[in-house]
Every structure is written in C-alpha cells, then in structure tokens.
Structure 1
C-alpha cells in the first residue's frame, strides 16, 4: 500500500486486513503503522521492486493534488507526482510478477471519457496527468497485470488525525458568521470507507476496469448546507450567480499568470467545469452523512 498514511490509505489498509489479507505499508514519512518510509515521487524501479518482492498486489494512493499551484508550466509537476511514479511502480510490479493493482485517481478522467468536447486534458494540467497516469500505468503493467483505476470525487471521512486536505477552509467558513453562498452545479461524493470497500473488491477480483466511485450526488448548495449543519452552525445557503464565479476565477488566473504560476485546474476554464453537475451514477447508492459528520464535527 503506497500512500498508506493518508486518509484513504489508512481505510484501505484496515479494510484489507479485515478481509484477511496481509498488507505492507509505505508512505513518504515514517510514523506509527508505516512499515517503509518511501517517497514515491523519487523512488526508483529498483526500490519499488525491493518493496514489492513477494507480494500479490499493490495499491497507489499518493500523488499531486489538483489544488497545487506550481510554477508555470504546471504539467511537468503533475507528471512528476502522478504519472512517473505510477509508471515506475507498475513496471516494478510487472517485473516482480504481481497479479493485480489499483490506482486511486480522479473522477475527472470519467468526465474526460464521457465528454471529449469539454477538452479537459487540453485545458487542465492536473486532469491531463490523471488521464496519462491511467494510460501510461497500464502500458507499463502490461497485459498480464490488471490495473483498476478508481475515479474518486469528493471524499468525506476521518482516519485518526487525517482529514480530507480540502476540508480546513470549508470548516472555518461553516463555523464563521460569514454568509453561506453556493453557485450552480454540484459534485458526486463518497466516503473513505466506501473507497476502501471498492479497492478491496477490485483487488480480490483482479479487476482492470475504470471504476467511477460515488455514494451520493450533491449540489454545491446542498453540500455547503450539510457541512454547516454538521458543525452546528446551520443557516440558509444563498445562490451565487455563476457569472460572479467565472469572473473571480478568471481574475485568479490573471494573478497567477502575473506571478508565474499555474493551477492544476486552469482558472480560465474552471468555471465551465465546476459550475456543471459533475454527477456520477452510484453503483450502490448510500449516504455520506456519517462521514460528513466525522469530517466536520460539532466540537
């Protein structure tokens, strides 16, 4: 399990062990529960082979986040974080004779397949890296090593002190006295525990499929309102015109350009993406409420 100390990684390890599987854990930083301190972005094929020897499968749950704003051009940074380590890892897995693998990716690849007219890989370096991650990773794995790619939306939940890396600003906003506003559109959502179930099932079946993961589809208004209610600061959510969001995002892009930086999701085109209903049909509908309450507790 590469990326074992993260929110999802911890849930995957727990679920696999509950199913009776032995799990070796690796993460960038040594801590309790991590067997090997290993930075996936710099690890060589030889280091990965030494880690994978004697194992049946591997899970990759690390990489660069879509909120990163590196120096322009951004794509090499996202390639280095999301594509190159997966290629080295799955090359090593093939050489060591592993029989199954899972990569935790993004639901943007799902929309890339379904809506080529959105031109997501042309416009957004992060999405390009996720699409390339799946393609190049499977090519490195070869035909005898099936690689399941889980396409993840917003993930709620908690694992010890680990929370979703986007939850902090939303938590502070929900607990403040500032008005709550939300634009049109929305997103699919799931929980870390549900992702762990899907990963485990994919590994046990040696699946090589693209697997969109979702429990619920939430409008932005519904999501923000439920977050505020979870914190105990329930109040109405006002509608924010899409034009305001597009203008603010474009101005953000201008500022980034002036400072020589570039987002993984290009602000110039982000409005056309984030104001849509980025919904995924759940294979097994459920509720994210319990995990949402863990993410945004009342105290």
Structure 2
C-alpha cells in the first residue's frame, strides 16, 4: 500500500516543478494559469507534506535547496512520462506507442526499409524513432527499447541478438582503377578511415587477411554516413558493414577490396526490464525475430564479399 505522504497530488508537483524551472512563483502562475498566491500555497503544502523545505526564501526570491533540485529532476521526468502516456493513450487507445532509440546508419539502411512491414502487421502501434550514438540510462530517458552495437552487456536490460556485423574494406572505383589491390599491404597507399566506435576494426581486418597490422592513420568519424561519403570522395579506404556497403557496390560508388569480410561486434535490441511485457515492445521483438530469421536464410551468402 502506498503511503499518501509520499504520493503528492499532481497539482502540488506541477506547481513545484514550474517554480523550480521558471525561477519564480509569478512565472509559474502564468504558465499554469493560476494566481501567484495559489502557486505559493501549493508549494508550501508540498513542503508540509514532505516535511522538508524545498526553497530558501530570500526577500522576494525563492532559492531551491540542493536536495530540491535533485528531487525536481525526478519529478520533471515523471510528469513528462505521465503527459506522454496520456497523449499516447488518447491518440491511440487500441495500440500504443513504441519509442525506440536507434543507431543512425542502422536505422537508415536496415530498419527503415523493413519498418513498413511491421506497421502493416501491427497497424495500431505508432513507432517513434530517435538517434543515439552512445548508450544511455533508460531511467533518464523515456525509451521503450534501443538498438545497441557490441555485446550483451547493457546494464539492467533485456537483450535480443539481431545479427553480427561483417566489415568490408571499401574504396572509390576511381582510386582502384589507378592502383589495383592484390594484397592487404597494397591498401596502405591510402589513408585508412576510422570510426570512433570501431577502434579495433582495422586491426581485425588486417589480421583476417594474414597481414601485419600497421599503425592506423587517417580521418576519424563519429558516423558511418560521413565516413562513407569521404570514401566515395576518394579521401581514403573505409571499413563498412555489409548491409551499408551493398547499396554502394550496386550503384558503383564504392568497390570492395579483396575477398573477405571481417566479423566485428553484434547488433542487439535492448530494453529496460520493467518494459519487458509492454505489448508494443513484445510485438516488435516477435516481428524482429521473424525478420532476422528470414534474412539469415535468404542472405546466408553475405558472409562472403561479391555475393
């Protein structure tokens, strides 16, 4: 049973959050369409209920305590979650919304072309996508799940493996026409473009070719999209996942080097444990399992470059 003292009403919490965010009861009152005296009374009532002061009064100014500032961050997230959930229920009471954090390249080249099938299969579900390059704390952001690259080490989360990443060395055809490549050492005549999140990629590639691992030099990128464009422009050689490179190969913007792709890390769907049984997420996991299984059967030959 919840203790009412620690379950303040939304009116009390909204007043406190507005004062904390705007810096004054007058500004909070305008935002909440209340009188200034009403906002002051609501804040005082919350302080009484919690048994602690939230603000120090200095003449006409309210200065939040350090504890109140930390408390306010949690309250703000909670109010945003309640608002979002209410809006989603009002807009789509029969389905629900799936908020998904995605990696930019994965979202653009792998997920987006397939997502229409999911929406057709589950027409009541709305999918919201936002890009994240680094892992984050699910408790701090309102995501139901995320696409993660690496291993199954996301803290306090459920994991579902999607597939392994296979990297291919790619170069602009114009460069390759001038300087054919017959061995891994031939690649060293060009800069080796690098991705921040794949620091060991070139080492693995050279080892897979049976070649000595050189000191890697070249431009550093934070996203595959910009690194791909740099390779197309002839600025160096890029290591790209096969699902990204295959379109560039078909359209002859890039050419593969040698005949081996190199296995890197893996792609995972991860989710906070308390969202594991959320129906839209369960539907998304089921659909992903089917897609990954079908892709594995239909494209088993993609382990080898040139297919």
TM interval, short-chain normalised = under 0.3
TM-score norm. by structure 1 comes to 0.27
Q: Which has more strand, going by share of residues?
A: 2
TM-score norm. by structure 2 comes to 0.26
Larger Rg: 2
